[in-house]
Structure 1
């Protein structure tokens, strides 16, 4: 059974040139390898975002919903950011 599928894709000229340049310089052996590597990077980014949402954003939201007194006002956030910015100078 075949584990690959042939597709025909259309890319904007600048992207197509970039793919071809990656092959021409020898960085990749084929245009398909360039596309596969780009898709792997996209999959990794999507996983990282999903893990961040599930591991940090969701629990922070749940904690805030359970105890709304933990919330900061916009003025408090601005003051904290200004203080952090001042420390960085």
Structure 2
């Protein structure tokens, strides 16, 4: 098991109540466990976001910069989206 380092943090009353409720419900054995799980989840989320940025967003930006002629003006893009929504709404009726 990794070495545990003790820290002191200030929380709002609402945050403290939330942590206490998680422990009282039996979801976690202690407030420290809630915080450790929260940090683990944040690290996992950050890794997912970083992967998405590197694998999808950056290549899309690079493609847009390489081929600006393919870009659609914002107003036109919204018009297309609204038309698609109207079309699907009519089809569902």
TM-score by length of 1: 0.89
2:37 match: 37
Change (3 A) 1:46 1:87: farther
1:58 match: 58
Q: Deviations over 1:18-69 (max 9, x none)?
A: 1011111111011111011111111121111111110111000101111111
Partner Cα separation in structure 1 for residue 69 and residue 10 of structure 2: 52
TM-score by length of 2: 0.85
Change (3 A) 1:7 1:87: farther
Which stretches in structure 1 are left out of the alignment for 5+ residues? none
Runs of 4 or more off by more than 4 Å in structure 1?
none
Counterpart of 1:20 in 2: which secondary structure?
helix
Is residue 2:7 matched to residue 1:7? yes
Q: How many residues are matched? A: 88
Which stretches in structure 2 are left out of the alignment for 5+ residues? none
2:23 match: 23
Partner Cα separation in structure 1 for residue 36 and residue 88 of structure 2: 41
